Structure formats: structure tokens, C-alpha cells
Structure 1
Amino acid sequence: MRRRQCPNGYTLIELLVVIGIIATLLGLLLPAVQKVRAATARLQCQNNQKQLALALHNYHDRRGQLPPGLSVKSEGARLPFLGWEARILPDIEQANLWRQVEEAFDSDPDPLKFYGHVPHHRLLGKPVLLFNCPSDPRLPGPKPGMFGLIAFTSYLGVEGRNQDTKDGMLFRDSAVRMIDVTDGTSNTLMLGERPPAADLRYGWWYRGWGQSQDGSLEMLLGASERNVVGEGCPAGPFSFAPGRFDNQCDVFHFWSLHSGGANFVFGDGSVRFLSYSAEPVISALTTRAGGEVVTVPE
């Protein structure tokens, strides 16, 4: 009887060749997957900003003006240190959360103390996904902060050239009407991207003082912001440029986790990606009535 022949196994060299081919394919595939994920996150980020733009326009339609970038004396100081994002909650299908905001202020014996009321603490730590760019792995949170859990925003209102000029569309106690934007809403920035601070002290969506009880660095930012709080950073002015998670000084300027630039919302509601090479014209784009002649870069 013939012996049954056993099939030959793979040699070590053959196995090494197969492993090498698989490693090569993975090396080619992973960058492509990462690129697709980055593109998807950037698109989602743009969609978030588009919804925020629509909400701001809806607020304007109802009230005849945009919300204050940060409320301090607005409406007789009824809602002190409340950010613009909280004001548009009813326009982003968060009416229940807005009722909690109103209840927190109505029951607060001293709203100017800012952190002394438990209902405010709960809202400080309430994440709203629409306010967060999916490219930031730290978000949506909440994260531990000075006053308990804190929730953040990736999108800041453009207050103008800096925190003192108040020549943008959203700033402390602002009440800007679209008719006031004489530079043209398609040529004026309304929102921009900037991740929360490295130490998470700035970038809160609900309430915040910012640098000087003006919302600067918190939910508002200028094109050439100045440093008046120290933080071990230069005095400025700062400019539109790439940033890093571990650099506290990057809190003073617009930047994003997208490669090459950041998304901005214009006054007409459009969302555009501006590369860092657009820095020379960013300042002109932040003023609502500066009279500058500028071409929006593609």
C-alpha cells in the first residue's frame, strides 16, 4: 500500500515574506484610515458650526440683534457672566436646558458671586455635544476644574481685533444687528475655532469671566488678543497660527486640530476653512465696520 503523503508546511522564509507583505499593507492602509477619520471629524466640526450659525441667526430674527457675547450688564444684569452659547440653547433644541439656566438664576440669591450656587455648578459641568469639535480627544467632558466638573466649547465668538476694541460681532454686552455689519456679513467673522486651554482653565461654554470679566479666552476671542492675566506667556498681541495641547499660551489665539488651519463662521452663516497663511487678513475680517478692503482667501 502506498503511504499517504503529508502536505509540506510553510518554511520560515515564506512566513517572514507573508508577514512583511501584511506589515507593508498595514503601513499603507493606516495613514489612509487616519486621513479619512480626520476628514470626517473636520466635516462634523463644520456641521456643528453651521448649526450654531443658524441658531445665532434665529436668535437675531427673534430679538432683532445677536446675543451678548458675554452678559455682564445686559438686561439690567439679570444673567451676569452668561455666555452667548447658553443664550442660543432654545435654538439648538435645548429648551429644557435653557429652562434650567433660567431656574438657576431665578433661585440664585447673589448671581454676581458666580460660583456660589449649586444649580450653576450642575450646568457648568453639562456637556453640549454641538459645542465640541470631535477632533479634540479631551472633549466633550466634563473634566474636573476649580469649581467641580466643567464642560467646554471648541467654538468662540469673534469679539474683533482684541478684547478692548469691541469691533466684532460678539463681545461683552454686545447687541449687534446684522445691519450694523457694514463691512458685509460675508466678509466678517462671527465664530472661530480654538480648543480649550492646556490646563482647561479657559474655554467654558456656560459662564465665565475670561481674562477681565469680559469673556476673553473663555467663549470669546479676538484676532490679536492681548495677555492681561500672565499665565507665563508673552504680552502679545497673538496671531492666527498652529497650536498644541500642551502649550498654555495657545489659548490666546485661534487655531484648530485640523491640519493647516481652522474653520470659521462668517456673519452670513457660511462656514469656511481658512489656512494659517490667511493670518495677514484675519484682523480685517474680524471687524464689522472697519471699512477694510480685503479678499477672503479660499
Structure 2
Amino acid sequence: MFNPKWIAVVLFTTLPLTATAQENSAASQKVFPVGIVMHDTILAAHLDLSQIDVPAIKQLTSQFAGGPGESPIVSLAESVIESLRDAGANDLYVSVPGRVLIQGGVCIVVPCDDRDAVSKRLTKLLDSVSLPFDFRVVTTDQAVVVCPAMMAEHFQKGVPDSRSIDRPEFNASLQSMAHFPHQTVVSLPEDIHEELANLWPDKLGNHDPTDFSPSRWIASVRSIAIGWSLPPKTAFELRIQSVDPAGAVACEQETSKLLKAIPPGLPRPTLSVDGASVVIKADPEKLQAFLAPMVKQAQQDAHRQQTMNNFKRLALAMHNFHAKQGFLPGKYTVDAKGRPLLSWRVALLPYLEQAPLYAKFKLDEPWDSEHNRPLAEQMPEVFSIAGDDLPAGKSRIRLPVIAGGLWSGEGPPRTLRDITDGTSATVWIATAPKSAAVAWTKPDDWQLDEAKLKEQFFGDQPYAVSGYADGSVHVLTPAIAAKTLKALLTMAGREVVQQDDVK
């Protein structure tokens, strides 16, 4: 017997695909390719790969996930999308036939010219993940398909199906949403639709405040078309097709009951009847206003996470430098007379997979010599802060210089053994205020005055990403006490730093 929960499974499975648009555009095709719509297809979708903004997906999903941590599903989707784009694929189609719902359900079809490249990329991706079901990669005359094993023969035949297919609602619904970059169509085969109408109750329960009737609603629905776009131009439209105008009225009445359950503060879509259809539209301006704060926060979280990842790379480079040289890099290199030449960032280049760039420098000349100055414009990404609007070649990833700190003085090179306060309690790299940004090659001290320590360390920053000598990365805020901050910036002060004091 058909299980109504399968509908939820289908929608959940395709959610990562349906939450990925950037802007409105005409659909590249107004009909589904042969083989997408089958006699038992429940859902079919089209994605315009050129209109998918992966960073926007990460930013939005991080908000709903409760933090900047990356969702494994989003990470996998990013890998797939980038691989397909690299192989020249422009569109992706999804088909969910009812017969394979319990075997994974989703068939992904990628029309492309370089089918061999796409097939290799998708095969490699499948091999790299653990899936509960057996999926195959199939190459046809016009596309590459990822599908449950039992569907492989269907696509290998190169024909839509051995049984008659009469599902015109799929292409009609697709065309009705052609003004959106992505479309999803949901339509149940007649036998499944009838079974659902018989199974679904007349009421949700005695305590349901909406008075919604599932059975009346499903009886009035024949297909659902969805079109959408997300930031920077947010829009959404859903069109429910009924068998006749009377069915549309019944559908509108039941759907309006559900919309009343939308919590206060959330944007409410408009609901209207258009002949035999019910149209639900979201107000783009209201959606934009609703999403804007989340998008802004998500961008900030993503930028902070990227900066923290850069700090981890820098810490690894520092430790590798120490392992090879027996000491840490100095604040800058000097000539025979002790005059500064190039910053510590340049010294780390060979340990950051930047040996070719390092080889371009004349190490016996200052950073602003005729030869070295142009190289200041070739700053590696690891020295940048995501989201900054600094001029090219400027970095605010600095070594904090304070009396008693790791980078104070002009003596012999320091080693990790000099950090007697403990590497896990000593900050050696931090983000400086924009006012303290410098050319990344310049040998310039970020000198901090103990009397104005917090003011100079944070400046206008809401927080400072800070790297510790043990390789860990944390975020410090201006709420930290000046005494605690000083203890973290010194290497042998014998202070005891309590974890609760680090804010």
C-alpha cells in the first residue's frame, strides 16, 4: 500500500536542490527531456546550474542549522555543482518515480556534450560518499544519469518507458513557471492520488485551530508547480492546478486555512484563484526584508569561518617552519646591517604552497624595492579577511607586538620552548583593525600600547579572530578584560588565564 510519508521523503530529499537559486531568468527549456516523466513520476524538477549561488546556500543554511558549521548535504551539493559546471553542464533535471521511493527515489539527469567527463566526475563523487542505497551512473546519447540501480535499464534503453505515458501536466506546469530559473512539479499518478484521497482524514484533529481538511484538499489538487529565486532577488510562486474552477475554489478555501497558521512576523503570501488554479505568491519586498538580516548574519558567519580556516593554515605553516628551521620566523627578515627587508608573511610562503611566488622575490632587497614592490599586489588569499574592502595587497592579519610578547624585541629567533605560559594560552596571530592594515610584504610592527591595549587591539572590530601558538583558533571580543588580553598576548608572564575570562 502507498505510504503517505513517502511524499515527505521526496520533498526532504529534493530540498537541497530547491533552495539554491540566485535570480530570475527564463528557463533554458520549457519541456522535460525524454525519460524524465514516467508513468509513475511523482516529482520532476529543473535546475539552471548557472543560476545557483553556492555561497548563498551556505549562508542561509548556516542560519537554520544554528551556526557557521557546514552541512554535509550542502558540502556535497557544492562539490556536485562545481564538478558539473567545470564539465560544461548547464542544466540538471530531477525525477522521482514512485516505484523506487524505498530505494532512494531520486534520479538525476544531466544533459551535456562532454558526457565522459561528467560521468567520471559523478562516478568519483558517488565512490567518495556512503549511501544507504545502490546508485548507478548511466551514460545515454544525450545525458549522464545518476539513478537507483533498478532504474539503470530504464535510462539505458533510451526510451521513456515501455508503458504508455500520458502526463501532460508536467510540461504544462513547467512552462507556467518558465519565468523562474528553477521549477519543481509535483503530480501524483491517478491510482496513488485516489488512494491518498481515501487515506487522508477529513480533519487533522479535534484540537486543530485551522479546521483544515486534508481529504478535501487532496481531492481538489491535481498538480503543483513551484517556481522560485532567492537572494539577491527573492521571489516564490506556487500554482496548484485543480480539475475545474469549483475544485480550485475548494482548494483555495482549504489552503487559506493553512496560511492562517503562519506565525506572526513571517511574511504571508497572497492567495488567489485563477480559473482552475490556485496561485500562491510571496511578496518579493517582504521576503527580501525578512531574509536580509539572516543573510547579513550568515555572510558574517561565513566570513569569520573562512578567516578562522586561514588562521589554521597559517598556524600549520608556522609549525612546519619551526620544525624545519628550529625556530619561528621573525617579524621580518633583515639585511646585514639589521635593516628590515620583508615581512613574516613572505617567509612563510614556501610553507603555504606558494613556493613559485616566493621564488619571485629578491630576498636581499627591501619590500618596496623596484623589483619587489609589484609583488605586493599578488597577496595570497590566506592573508586576506573575507568580506574586507581593503585595497589589493593590504592585510590586517598581524603579529601583535607587546612587551613580554612572542614578537617583542629584536633578539635572536624565538622557539616554541620560549612560550612558558603554554602554547594553548598564548595568542601569536590576530586580526587587526582596518586602520592597522598594511601591505602584506611590508616589515611593519603592530605595536600595542599596554595602556590602550583593548582600544588598539580591537579598534572598530566587533571581534578579533585570534590564533594561538598550539594551532587553535578562537574569537575574542571587546568584552574581555584588559588584564586577560594582556595575559594571552604575553608568552612568559606566568599569569593564570581562566577559561571563563576569555570572551
* TM-score bin (small chain): 0.5 to 0.7
* TM-fit CA distance, 1:96: 1.0
Matched, 1:86 2:342: no
* Distance (Å, rounded) in 1 between the aligned partners of 2:352 and 2:377: 18
Partner of 1:49: 311
Shift of 1:279: 3.6
Name the residue aligned to 2:398.
156
Q: Which residue of 2 aligns with 1:33?
A: 295
Choose between structure 1 and 2 for higher RCO, CA contacts under 8 A separated by at least 6 residues: 1
2:321 to 55, 59, 62: 59
User: Do the aligned partners of 1:155 and 1:193 also contact (CA within 8 Å) in 2?
Assistant: yes
CA 97–118 in structure 1, closer or farther in 2 if over 3 Å, else same: same
Corresponding residue pairs, total: 221
- One-letter amino acid matched to 1:189: V
Secondary structure in 2 aligned to 1:41? helix
Compared with structure 1, are the counterparts of its residues 20 and 98 closer, same or farther at alpha carbon in structure 2 (3 Å cutoff)? closer
Counterparts in 2 of 1:131 and 1:77: CA distance versus 1, 3 Å: farther
Within a 5 Å distance, the mapping from 1:59-138 to structure 2 comes to: 59-72=321-334, 76-77=336-337, 80-101=340-361, 104-106=362-364, 108=365, 111=366, 115=368, 117-138=369-390
Per-residue deviation, 1:180: 0.7
| Residues 1-298 of structure 1 aligned to structure 2 (within 5 Å) | 21-72=283-334, 76-77=336-337, 80-101=340-361, 104-106=362-364, 108=365, 111=366, 115=368, 117-138=369-390, 141-142=391-392, 151-160=393-402, 165=403, 167-171=404-408, 173=410, 175-197=413-435, 202-208=437-443, 215-216=444-445, 220-222=446-448, 224=449, 237-241=451-455, 252-255=456-459, 257=461, 260-280=462-482, 281-296=484-499, 297=502
Distance apart, 1:221 and its partner CA: 4.0
- SS of 2:475's partner is strand
8 Å CA contact 1:152–1:196 kept in 2: the answer is no
Q: Deviations over 1:253-290 (max 9, x none)?
A: 34575xx4211001101000112111421111111111
| 2-structure distance, mates of 1:205, 1:180 | 26
Q: Is the CA contact (8 Å cut-off) linking 1:67 and 1:170 kept in structure 2?
A: no
**In structure 2, distance between residues paired with 1:79 and 1:71:** 8
Which of structures 1 and 2 has the bigger CA Rg?
2
Output the CA distance in 1 between the equivalents of 2:346 and 2:480: 30
Contact 1:42 1:135 in 2 (8 A): no
| 1:214-258 residue CA offsets vs partner (Å, 9 max, x unmatched) | x22xxx343x36xxxxxxxxxxx32325xxxxxxxxxx434575x
Describe the superposition over 1:159-195 as per-residue Cα deviations: whole angstroms up to 9, x where unpaired: 23xxxx2x22234646111111000010111001114
Shift of 1:79: 7.7
Shift of 1:207: 2.0
User: Do the aligned partners of 1:221 and 1:253 also contact (CA within 8 Å) in 2?
Assistant: no
Unaligned runs of 5+ in 1: 1-16, 143-150, 209-214, 226-236, 242-251
Asked if structure 2 preserves the Cα contact closer than 8 Å seen for 1:69 and 1:173, the reply is no
Indicate the SS of the match to 1:294.
coil
| Runs of 4+ off more than 6 Å | none
Contact 2:342 2:363 in 1 (8 A): no
Higher strand share goes to which structure? 2
Q: Does the 8 Å contact 2:398/2:431 carry over to 1?
A: yes
SS at match of 2:428: strand
Q: Give distance in 2, aligned partners of 1:98 and 1:22.
A: 49
Q: In the superposition, relative to structure 1, how do residues 86 and 92 fare at CA in structure 2: closer, same or farther (>3 Å)?
A: same
Q: Once the 2 structures are TM-superposed, how far is the Cα of residue 129 of structure 1 from its aligned partner?
A: 1.1
Aligned counterparts of 2:481 and 2:315: Cα–Cα separation in 1: 22
1: CA distance between counterparts of 2:454 and 2:438?
A: 17
What is the CA distance between 1:51 and its match in structure 2? Answer: 0.5
1:72 deviates by 3.5
Distance 1:27-1:170 versus aligned 2 partners, 3 A rule = same
Point out where structure 2 has 5 or more consecutive residues left out of the alignment. 1-268, 271-280
| 8 Å CA contact 1:169, 1:176 repeated in 2 | yes
Superposed displacement of residue 197, structure 1: 2.4
Q: Deviations over 1:23-52 (max 9, x none)?
A: 333211111111111111110010011101
